[in-house]
Amino acid sequence: MHQISKIQKAIKFAVKTHEVYQKQKRKGKDVSYITHPLTVGIILSRIGASDDVVCAGILHDTIEDSIPEKKVNFEMLEQRFGTDVAQMVLDVTETDKTLPWEERKKQAVEHVKKFSHDSLLVKSADVISNLAEILDDYARYGEQVFSHFNAPKEKNFEYKLKVIAAILKRWPANPVAGELRRLAGKIKKSIIII
């Protein structure tokens, strides 16, 4: 049985960070950003992840995407949710947004190779949520979907495939390995990677 109060607390914290303080939206859409971390939390809950992993999934973008006036940091998450949750969130966070896109993504792939299984679960659910949405949008709207991203389609999908490969190499028995492989196959079959 999940500790609902801790999960509710994580939801409230993520809603404040993404919705209340900045009305953050999904790229190129009039859809509240909070739908993404909640989806990540649901994916993790459905596979039977621990409460801490579910909380980390819900909170996974709070450090990276918080505004300067209400900046979220490791210590804040550690105080409210414990060291394990804070560490998982920090693991999946791109800490230097000033770097060029390609360098950030290269570092992110390298970092995955050192993740604990719990951090791999959070990253896996994040990739599944994002990639499923991007592929759906691409099927509906075509190339224009990528006009809202910092990299073109080919580089975007190339990065996603590298992350999936790094996750699966680090933990082949990952409970969502099948879904990651399915999404990778969908990219390879339906989109030409240059």
pLDDT digits (tens, 9 = 90+) for 61-93: 999 999 999 999 999 999 999 999 999 999 999
Domain of residue 83: give its range.
Answer: 4-190
From the candidates 51, 52, 65, 126, which is the catalytic residue? 65
Tell me what the pLDDT averaged over the chain comes to: 93
* Mean predicted confidence (pLDDT) in 23-41: 93
CATH number reported for the structural domain that contains residue 44 in this entry? 1.10.3210.10
Predicted confidence at residue 88, as pLDDT, reads: 98
Catalytic residue among 64, 78, 94, 158: 64
Give the burial class of 193: count Cβ atoms within 10 A of its Cβ; 0-12 exposed, 13-18 middle, 19 or more buried: exposed
Q: What percent of the chain has a predicted confidence (pLDDT) above 90? A: 82
> Could you tell me the pTM of the whole model?
0.94
Residue 178 has pLDDT above 50, yes or no: yes
| Residue 143: band (very low, low, confident or very high) from pLDDT cuts 50, 70, 90 | confident
Q: Indicate the number of domains in the chain.
A: 1
Catalytic-residue membership of 65:
yes
- Give residue 192's pLDDT: 58
